[in-house]
Amino acid sequence: MNLEKVLFAFFSILALTLNYGFFIGEMDDPTHHNAYELFAALIVSLIATIMKFGDRAHIGALLLATSLVADLQLIAAALVWGLTVYGAQTELSPEAISSVVSLSGGALLANLTSVILLVVETVTYRR
């Protein structure tokens, strides 16, 4: 068993599940979405992206692209959250949390695509 591939798959799937955990719930209810969970999803997604650098296969480029999209979406979600709460110093309104959750949903789709590509690569792997 290749430890590098195990860690790569672990962080990719963990990024997906953390993002899903943040995404699930009423879209406009701030109590259903935890800032720490968004932060954890972002950090794990960034770790997964770093692990994807160096893979020279075509599927590696696709995996890196999906991971970069997820990172950008999660960074944008964190910026909206941060600017609303700390920049404007207001409560997290239903409109703001809806934007954050929508951006997280885009990252969720990118993470799902990444995991599907990972499974396809594993199934088609020949020894």
- Give pTM, 2 decimals: 0.92
- Mean pLDDT by runs of 10 across the 127 residues of the chain is 88 96 93 95 96 84 95 98 92 93 97 94 80
Q: How many domains are there within the chain? A: 1
Q: Residue 2: its pLDDT value, please?
A: 83
Cα 116 to chain centroid distance, Å, stands at: 14
- Quick one: 44 exposed, middle or buried, by C-beta within 10 A (0-12, 13-18, 19+)? buried
- DSSP code for 86: I
C-alpha to C-alpha distance for 40 and 20, rounded to whole angstroms? 12
Q: Residue 84: its pLDDT value, please?
A: 94
Domain assignment of residue 90, given as a range: 3-123
C-alpha to C-alpha distance for 30 and 12, rounded to whole angstroms? 26
Tokens of 43: 């950090």
C-alpha to C-alpha distance for 82 and 72, rounded to whole angstroms? 15
- Quick one: 123 exposed, middle or buried, by C-beta within 10 A (0-12, 13-18, 19+)? exposed
| Helical spans, DSSP H, in the chain | 3-23, 35-52, 58-82, 94-123
